[in-house]
């Protein structure tokens, strides 16, 4: 079961990197981490996809931490 709205689009590594103003490699590194430092993502086969609002919420928590 998919837990996001049907009309919301999952974003690619490049799109998330652009939103966060970081390099693609930083996003990949954060996806490999464990715990609170791991960027929220979904793995679809070999591809990583991101929900924009989940990532922005995560980034906000990281800033305060």
Tell me the C-alpha distance between 41 and 63, whole Å: 18
Counting residues of the chain whose pLDDT is more than 70, the rounded percentage is 86
Whole-model pTM: value is 0.82
Rounded CA separation 65/49 (Å): 24
Contacts for 49 with CB less than 8 Å, ≥ 6 apart: 10, 11, 12, 41, 42, 43
Q: Which residue has the higher pLDDT, 38 or 3?
A: 38
Flag whether pLDDT at 40 surpasses 80. Answer: yes
pLDDT for the residue numbered 62: 87
In angstroms, the CA 25 to CA 35 distance is 19
Helix (H) or strand (E) holding 49: strand 47-49
Using the predicted structure, report yes or no on whether residue 51 has a pLDDT greater than 60. Answer: yes
pLDDT at 55 over 70: yes
């Amino acid at each position: 079961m998919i837990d996001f709205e049907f009309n919301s689009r999952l974003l690619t590594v490049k799109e998330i990197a652009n939103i966060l103003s970081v390099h693609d490699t930083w996003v990949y590194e954060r996806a490999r981490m464990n715990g609170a430092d791991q960027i929220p993502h979904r793995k679809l086969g070999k591809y990583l996809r991101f929900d924009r609002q989940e990532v922005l919420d995560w980034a906000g928590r990281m800033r305060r931490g």
